[in-house]
Amino acid sequence: MNKEIGTRYEPNSIEKKWYKFWLEKGYFTPQNDNSRPKYSIVIPPPNITGKIHMGHALNITLQDILTRYKRMNGFKTLWLPGEDHAGIATQTAVEKKIEKEGKKREDLGRKKFLEIVWDWASTYRKTIKQQIMAIGASVDWSRERFTLDEGLSKAVKKVFVSLYKKGLIYKGKYIVNWCPRCKTVLSDEEVEYHEHDGKLYYIKYPFVDGTGEIVIATTRPETMLGDTAVAVSPSDERYKDVVGKEVILPLVGRKIKIIADIHADPKFGTGALKVTPAHDPNDYLIGQRHNLEFINIFNDDMTINENGGKYKGLDRYEAREKIVEDLEKEGFLVKIENLKHSVGHCYRCDTVIEPMLMNQWFVKMEPLAKKAIDAVENEHIKFYPQRWKKVYLNWMYNIRDWCISRQLWWGHRIPIWYCQDCGHINVSEDKVTKCEKCGSTNLRQEEDVLDTWFSSALWPFSTLGWPNETKDLKEFYPTDVLVTGFDIIFFWVARMIMMGYEFMDEKPFSDVYIHQLVRDKFGRKMSKSLGNGIDPIEVIEEYGADPMRFSLSTLAAQGRDIKLDLKHIETSKKFANKIWNATRFVILNLEDFQKQDLDNLNLSDKWILSRLQKTIKNVTHAIENYEFNVAAKEIYNFFWDELCDWYIEISKPRLKTNERSLVQNVLVYVLDNSLKLLHPIMPFITEELWQKLPTSGESITISNWPKVDEEFIDEESERKFSLIMNITKGIRNVKAEINIPQSKKVNITTMVKFTDEEELYIKVLGNVENITFSNIKPEKSASAYVDNNLEVYVELGNMIDIDSEINRLNKKIEKLEKDAEKFRKKLSNKKFLEGAPEDIIEEAREKLETIEGQIEKIKSIINSLQ
């Protein structure tokens, strides 16, 4: 056995070594063993647009915990990795890159531009892979996939053709979200809304018969060039007599009707709404209901087209200024008010989007949604935390058709060929060279590509080899769990469920765990603009992967966002040091180790073995229920508090007695199981240290997960040792409060006799010289422990001046009471309780509880001194 162990924990020296070892041994590739139950996860594929961020690090850490845990439990595990081609984001990034070289994609042509993007993809896929490795992810790299690889392209084409032939894919005019910067359509989920300081313009629309006017209010006066009606609410008494009348559209001169429609809000503006069916989703629906004309006034770069008359060629915002100026000049402008309102932005480039009526390809979603709704309603698929189930179902009940065409070059080109001679639409999985209707070879393929999420929706089964009937597909589909963020429930989760049922006739996964959003320490979303992002790779280089993983795990409470401060990771680094030093202590005391049965145990042995069984039970239950923070805190508390601070301390003198061999075996048994419990969260340090134990095997990665040994659960020993711990804490607390060094030995008086073994523990742990049994409280003593059956006092003698000490402690209470009062006021403030985030309120409660606990302890000491 190699007993050598370094004096310091140095993560950089062990992490790459062990990851290479795991890969070489092939531990991450599922073994060809059909006797084992299977467990599979497909990774949410990171976009190839740059480095992974802390949200990815959290996502990868949580999936790795589950995968390593299941592998240690004997499952045939597959965690399948891959990357997403990220159509809009990647094309935008590459276009920006070539723009710096003075080029545009149109200058290069489609073929040359795509060659550049493929080079980009190759570079960033390698970068992402290295970063995922650095985090310690036990993914099977032999099965790595890419949403544009040959197999997935085949799957995408098959799905498109199948849905088209079923009548579920169609091309039609519809209001879509247009990004003038990316020059493509965005789905509703790809539009982010931000508050803007805007203006509300009140404009007169004169009646054709000259009897007056109706005043409308709008935030976008430039769109009036495409108005084809004015709408008022049917319930609005103010306008009941004007419904059906005609007005003249200012500056344009077109006659348009006043109609009654339920969408008009009597409380907004004047209650009269200008209707521009080609440039507003709600107006589009009004236009359909009332058979209005649809007039598009924009080019795709958001300049005014020929339908804008004299404003043709102006940018949308230039046109706004000019139109407002002309309205005022001609007496149509009534007033302008300031207004805060939400405006849609492109989620990639942050440009303000424009609703546009365009010809696009769509998927009919309602027929696909039924099974996906039933699956979640009946909990064939379960959401964790449960509240996301309702969010998912609300969206599914109100689902709209999905616009799947994107005006890009990077992506899956839509497998449609238009016959230029007869106009027939040819759809095929293979390249079409001849029109199936007229035989013409004069064909043109659709220029648009499919929405990135179209290929991602197939990820759980396309990555396993579908449409081929592969061994992987048979063995690992459906997968067991999806770990992802709440922001892609609609983009991705819902669509995977729908496609899974449509093409596999089976759910894609059983559980959906929605993880937290990682924010900065102030609770703000991490962003480039704020400069508050924390780079996981930089954190790994400074602190190590294990401390970062442990921090993220301890903070991953279900339903609560993570406020990440580097102080958390510093604390986790200290924990890693504690693990290292504790293991080093054990290893250095194993020179003469001989394995023996764990019998003839004393109280402390029985206590630590019983506590270990409870910890195994609690950690196992927590991981099984996706309570990662509970699992991390359970093992932390056991290892640091119970194993290190108590059992190892009490074992030190015993290692010098005839109990040495027993203590060695208990230490090895407890440490072996503790490192295994820690391994899914902290894989590198646990492998390094476990290899040093005399009981270790080939690798902790493939070792067996600890099982609860009921024989070791001993409630009576836990009760007895807990009493000793509480007495010891009381002695230490008295010393701390009255400024006696912990290293100074004291005498204590107890009103109950202890066994010799219990006295030894109290003396060692509390640094006690003598223990006196007496029913009388000693003079000049402070209470260390009191319950119904026992009182323990620390004898102070001449170590302190009692009066001055009581005076000092009273002043300390006064200060603590002031601090407590601040928190009491805050927690009784209704405004604070209603407006503050729950974690801030909980933090205030915890601080108040801590202060009140300190006050009670000091009061107890004062009482005993008096």
Does residue 467 have a cis bond before it (omega within 30 degrees)?
A: yes
Which amino acid is it at 654?
A: R
User: Of 713, 735, 767, which residue constitutes the final position of a domain?
Assistant: 713
Mark whether 654 and 767 lie in a shared domain: no
Looking at the fold, whether 745 and 697 belong to one and the same domain comes out as no
Q: Is residue 250 part of a domain?
A: yes
CA–CA separation, 355 vs 822, rounded Å? Answer: 51
Taking the C-alpha atoms of residue 395 and residue 490, their distance in angstroms, rounded to an integer, is: 7
* C-beta separation of 171 from 361 below 8 A: yes
Q: What are residue 680's phi and psi, to 5 degrees?
A: -60, -30
- 8 A C-beta contact, residue 127 and residue 134: no
Q: Are residues 256 and 339 in the same domain?
A: yes
Spatial separation of the C-alpha atoms in residues 103 and 146, rounded to whole Å: 28
DSSP code of residue 644: I
Q: What is the CATH number of the domain that holds 635?
A: 1.10.730.10
Q: What angle do CA 79, 85, 89 make, to 5 degrees?
A: 125
Query: Which residue is listed with tokens 């630590």?
Result: 608
Q: Which of 728, 855, 854 is nearest to 784 (CA)?
A: 728
- pLDDT for position 681: 98
As given in the structure block, the two tokens for residue 794 are 């620390």
H runs (alpha helix) in 512-648: 536-543, 545-555, 566-588, 603-624, 628-636
- For residues 699 and 803, membership in a common domain is answered with no
Strand 479-485 relative to strand 509-515, pairing: parallel
Q: What is the pLDDT of residue 801?
A: 66
Tokens coding 106: 């149109």
CATH number of the domain encompassing residue 313: 3.90.740.10
Whole-angstrom distance, CA of residue 146 vs CA of residue 85: 7
Say how many C-beta atoms besides its own lie within 10 A of residue 810's C-beta: 12
- Is 854 a domain residue? yes
Contact 147, 45 (CB under 8 A): yes
Question: Distance (Å, rounded) from C-alpha 744 to C-alpha 735?
Answer: 9
Nearest partner of 581 among 2, 5, 1, 3, judged by Cα: 5
For residues 179 and 369, give the distance between their C-alpha atoms in angstroms, rounded to a whole number.
28
The answer to the question of residue 382 being in a domain is no
Last residue of a domain, one of 319, 351, 383: 351
pLDDT at position 528 is 66
Q: Specify the pLDDT at position 2.
A: 47
Give me the number of domains the chain comprises.
Answer: 3
- Give Cα 322 distance to the centre of its chain: 46
CA angle 764, 769, 771 (to 5 degrees): 95
Buried b (16+ CB within 10 A) or exposed e, 519-551: bbeeeeebeeeeeebbebbebbeebbbbbbbbb
> How many whole angstroms separate alpha carbon 426 and alpha carbon 164?
11
> Is 733:794 a contact under the CB 8 Å cutoff?
no
Q: Residue 141 and residue 811: Cα distance in Å, rounded?
A: 64
* 285-320 core/surface letters (b: 16 or more CB in 10 A; e: else): ebbeebebebbbbbeeebbbbeebeebeebebeebb
Cβ burial, residue 792 (10 Å; 0-12/13-18/19+): buried
Q: Are residues 276 and 306 in the same domain?
A: yes
Amino acid, single-letter form, for residue 749: T
Given this model, what pLDDT does residue 104 score? 87
Q: How many residues does the chain have?
A: 866
d(CA 587, CA 788) in angstroms, rounded, equals 43
CA distance 438 to 427: 14
Residue 642 falls inside a structural domain: yes
Integer CA distances (angstroms), 63 to 67, 78, 128, 495, 628, in order: 6, 11, 16, 21, 11
Residue 654 and residue 751 share a domain = no
Q: Which helix (H) or strand (E) holds 302?
A: none
Same domain for 668 and 572, yes or no, is yes
The CA angle 161-165-167, to the nearest 5 degrees, is 120
Q: Is residue 457 part of a domain?
A: no
Q: Are both 598 and 694 inside the same structural domain?
A: yes
Res 474: pLDDT: 96
CB 306 within 8 Å of CB 297: no
Q: Is residue 168 part of a domain?
A: no
Three-class SS state of 722 = helix
Residues 692 and 737 occupy one common structural domain: no
- Tokens (6 digits) for 727: 């007495």
* Amino acid (one-letter) located at 414: I
Evaluate whether 214 touches 271 at the Cβ level (below 8 Å): no
Supply the range of the domain harboring residue 224.
192-351
Q: What is the mean pLDDT of each run of 10 residues along the chain (866 residues)?
A: 76 95 97 90 92 92 98 97 92 89 90 95 95 97 96 97 97 86 78 86 94 93 95 90 93 94 87 92 88 92 92 94 95 92 82 87 95 96 94 92 91 96 96 95 95 96 97 97 91 96 97 88 73 87 97 87 88 96 96 93 97 98 96 97 95 94 97 98 98 94 97 96 94 86 91 91 92 88 86 83 76 85 85 77 85 83 73
**Looking at the structure, do residues 621 and 684 belong to the same domain, yes or no?**
yes
Q: What is the pLDDT of residue 259?
A: 94
In a domain, 505, yes or no: no
Both tokens of residue 535?
Answer: 């780079």
* Beta-carbon-side half-sphere exposure of residue 197 (alpha carbons within 13 Å): 0
DSSP 839: H
Contacts of 618 (CB under 8 A, 6+ apart): 630, 631, 634
SS3 assignment for 415-480? CEEEECCCCCEEECCCCCCCCCCCCCCCEEECCCEECHHHHHCCHHHHCCCCCCCCHHHHHHCCEE
Residue 111 is assigned to a ligand binding site: no
Whether residues 738 and 839 share a domain: the answer is yes
**Distance (Å, whole) CA 783 – CA 802:** 13
pLDDT at 836: 78
Show the tokens assigned to 699.
């690798």
- Tell the residue number behind the tokens 């020179």, with chain if given: 591
Distance between CA atoms of residues 661 and 592, nearest Å: 8
Number of C-beta neighbours around residue 686 at 10 A: 26
Contact (CB, 8 A) for 531 and 406: no
Q: Which residue from 790, 799, 789, 802 is spatially nearest to 762, judged by alpha carbons? A: 790
Nearest to 142 by CA among 472, 435, 530: 472
For residues 733 and 852, membership in a common domain is answered with yes
Total Cβ atoms within 10 A of residue 169:
22
- Residue 814: the pLDDT is 84
Decide which of 651, 684, 713 is a domain's last residue.
Answer: 713
**Structural domain contains residue 665:** yes
Angle at CA 563, nearest 5°, toward 557 and 566?
Answer: 115
Separation of alpha carbons 784 and 618, rounded Å:
31
C-alpha distances in Å from residue 585, one per residue of 409, 646, 763, 814: 61, 14, 22, 43
**C-alpha to C-alpha distance for 481 and 495, rounded to whole angstroms:** 15
